[in-house]
Structure 1
């Protein structure tokens, strides 16, 4: 039995945790044993301040679930000793302990290529499953995927082929909502997420911005953004038009009329995958389209003037701006976005949690909004990802754009670690920001050969 971080324990077991359990007990230490076939935690009972150990093992579907526990003790030292003894007792007979007897389905497997698919395997899927540099991401997805219920029947095929980016975005949201303390109801495939927890209930639907294609299905590259003028033009019109397509498509489906959504906050979660780095460039365009305001040409920090935007035009295409003003949009509580939520986030969190090859090093760099003494400012950052560095969470980088017309507003407490943005009547954005919010995030993968290690006989 060896100690592990809360981050590593959550990667294994967060998906079976009941939000109500955290209301009556606090986890204070975490462990793994028997080559990670067992994970465990010591809890402190909040009412009585007594300590006990909980033991989890993989069930028939390879999902970590409760299998045993110690008694309660007055001290955590006693609880730890009892936990170690209980684990030593269970290991020889783990096979009989781990079986829950409530399912007979095979474990969910994202990674074994399906024998028959309509489309070729996606290059990013091949990278994830074959390249050593992505091993932290692959290994942290493995315990997560065991809890996935393929409600629409094609998740695995799309994950392996044409829908890889969209499915990674959905896996990110699954991790995000779990981390925030919500249980996800899989009884209905529509919308993508029906969440409940101590903070309340909400529903969410995922969508993505994808590459434009011509009539023959070939990808049409986005306009160049090499100069400041090109970038400003794209943010002014091209990128808002790209966000408009998937958002208005979801709006037309009127999810809020479904029985399982009625009366609850409803979120649209969007990510930009039109190019591999698009999400790092287009973030400023999203609120322009959502609220129909942009900075005036003479905008300054001392005089932050804004101007109304009625339409966006690029080439022959023209669309209306101010998504939240559209008919039916009052049922959209918020739109959420995270520029850093890509496969690289899984890789970084996986490495921090102790997953993947020892040869892998990840160097992260970009720009962030840092807040000190209530004053936000933009700064550059660059560092190697490590288990000893500041823990990256799934909510890091998340931005919530609240709808001022929402019939069912989303309480900030539901996603407390996100950046929350509110548009006021004067067209100026008011925000509640975390201390550190990555705006642009890039990750360089390095795979190093370690020097040969001596065997045990050479050490003596």
Structure 2
């Protein structure tokens, strides 16, 4: 589930990006694809023309797992039963030109974690995304799922509109005994030197 989000965008819209470097500065260059990678020759771009106009949208999440059930209840105050729940992953970096997410490692019972969302706990709809078909005969109404991230065409470009400021690209939940050593971001991020 970690990489399926990027693959889905490429499959649906036939678009992606590659990293290039110029004068020591890295930047993204848009790419297009007509077929998925691999030997199957499977076509990319499900939403690139009107052939699939009967399909209004794809609803996706990369966080549909048992750990989500634990995080929602525990971040809203449920008993941890002597366990520690730590979430590691990458936040979406909204800085223009950013090429990577922002690494994080947070205890889900902490105030820092709870304040990532206005409800003061992780909502069920966090990490849910709706990919709209620009050629849909019956467009999917955004108002049907107002608190999710919507991908849609605007002025010939596919844009992403998020309800929550916090957007997590991928994550993993580590469950430990309270008596175990507390893990930190340094346990997961290699030293760049």
1:223-234 superposed matches below 5 A:
none
Contact kept? 1:353, 1:387, Cα under 8 Å: no
2:10 pairs with one of 262, 282, 288: 288
For 1:384, the equivalent position in structure 2 comes to 107
2:30 aligned with 1:322, yes or no?
A: no
Which SS does the other structure have where 1:386 is aligned? Answer: coil
User: What 5-or-longer segments of structure 1 have no aligned partner?
Assistant: 1-278, 450-460
In structure 2, what is the Cα distance between the partners aligned to 1:409 and 1:298? 36
Contact kept? 1:291, 1:423, Cα under 8 Å: no
In structure 2, what is the Cα distance between the partners aligned to 1:350 and 1:303? 40
Calculate the TM-score normalised by the size of structure 1: 0.33
Contact kept? 1:369, 1:379, Cα under 8 Å: yes
Q: For CA contacts below 8 A with separation 6 or more, give which structure has more relative contact order.
A: 2
Which SS does the other structure have where 2:41 is aligned? Answer: strand
Which SS does the other structure have where 2:47 is aligned? Answer: helix
1:95-244 superposed matches below 5 A:
none
Point out the structure with max Rg over C-alpha: 1
Displacement after TM superposition at 1:381 (Å): 1.6
2:120 aligned with 1:398, yes or no?
A: no
2:177 aligned with 1:447, yes or no?
A: yes
For 1:414, the equivalent position in structure 2 comes to 144
Contact kept? 1:371, 1:435, Cα under 8 Å: no
Which SS does the other structure have where 1:443 is aligned? Answer: strand
In structure 2, what is the Cα distance between the partners aligned to 1:351 and 1:382? 16
User: What 5-or-longer segments of structure 2 have no aligned partner?
Assistant: 116-120, 180-193
Superimposed CA distance per residue, residues 245-293 of structure 1 (whole angstroms, 9 cap, x where no aligned partner): xxxxxxxxxxxxxxxxxxxxxxxxxxxxxxxxxx112211111000112
For 2:73, the equivalent position in structure 1 comes to 350
Superimposed CA distance per residue, residues 383-440 of structure 1 (whole angstroms, 9 cap, x where no aligned partner): 11117523100111112111100111122222222111124575x4212123110001
1:333 pairs with one of 45, 56, 67: 56
In structure 2, what is the Cα distance between the partners aligned to 1:327 and 1:448? 54
Q: In the superposition, relative to structure 1, how do residues 402 and 444 fare at CA in structure 2: closer, same or farther (>3 Å)?
A: same
Which SS does the other structure have where 1:396 is aligned? Answer: coil
Which SS does the other structure have where 1:331 is aligned? Answer: coil
Contact kept? 2:91, 2:104, Cα under 8 Å: yes
In structure 1, what is the Cα distance between the partners aligned to 2:94 and 2:16? 23
In structure 1, what is the Cα distance between the partners aligned to 2:146 and 2:97? 18
Displacement after TM superposition at 1:349 (Å): 1.1
Displacement after TM superposition at 1:364 (Å): 0.8
Calculate the TM-score normalised by the size of structure 2: 0.72
For 2:90, the equivalent position in structure 1 comes to 367
2:37 aligned with 1:307, yes or no?
A: no
